A and B are shown apart, each in its own frame.
Chain A
Amino acid sequence: KNEVEQSPQNLTAQEGEFITINCSYSVGISALHWLQQHPGGGIVSLFMLSSGKKKHGRLIATINIQEKHSSLHITASHPRDSAVYICAVSQGAQKLVFGQGTRLTINP
């Protein structure tokens, strides 16, 4: 069983739609990370959170520690948001354990 599961694996939406990507994990963690992988392959850290909610621009990340679940929301989605979004967890020793990613496509 994967330690980090994401859903959906693929998501296609129209520009302007509200997007939600979910992540569940099965291990104890020190933090949960949301990352964005561009079509060229580069990885950028979006959020790191251990409780509650964080917001950056149109992106919002939430985590429920008791339920071992996190969501990434994108408001007013735009074609430039098209990318693979990856959930990963760290367990104190800093190494990241990754989910399989969610491929998001926003059509104009």
Chain B
Amino acid sequence: EPEVTQTPSHQVTQMGQEVILRCVPISNHLYFYWYRQILGQKVEFLVSFYNNEISEKSEIFDDQFSVERPDGSNFTLKIRSTKLEDSAMYFCASEGGLGNQPQHFGDGTRLSIL
């Protein structure tokens, strides 16, 4: 069964550094999402992406965050200048887009900011 893949599984970065989290969604899916989960808290929506543009973003998704789908297969989340509070598990998800369908999640990237 096709799956969403995320790399790396764990990223350790110094505060203030840029980080790029990568995702390869399921190939024929049309909607893409990033969520994050701070340790011990619930999963939170960051951003949704459709037709090569952001369709919705949360208050968390400020100017330090950006998303790209540079080559039709990868879907990336960039954090320009990381802060300690960016430490979290980041999940990518994709959905087919043909009516009500479940989202398929990657295994997540654990981001640790030192």
Chain A positions within 8 Å of B, measured between CB atoms, are 30-31, 33, 35, 40-45, 48, 50, 86, 88, 90, 93-101
Contacts and interface: CB of A to CB of B under 8 A. Distances in A.
A94 B105 contact: no
B108 A41 contact: yes
A45 B96 CA distance: 14
Contacts, number: 58
B35 A42 contact: no
A99 B42 CA distance: 7
Contacts of B42: 86, 98-101
Interface residues of B, number: 25
Contact of B43 (A50, A86, A93): A86
- A interface secondary structure, majority: strand
B91 A94 contact: no
Contacts of B33: 94-96
A31 B33 CA distance: 17
A99 to B, nearest CB: 7
Given A98-B42, A98-B43, A45 B105 contact: yes
B18 interface: no
Contacts of B56: 93, 95
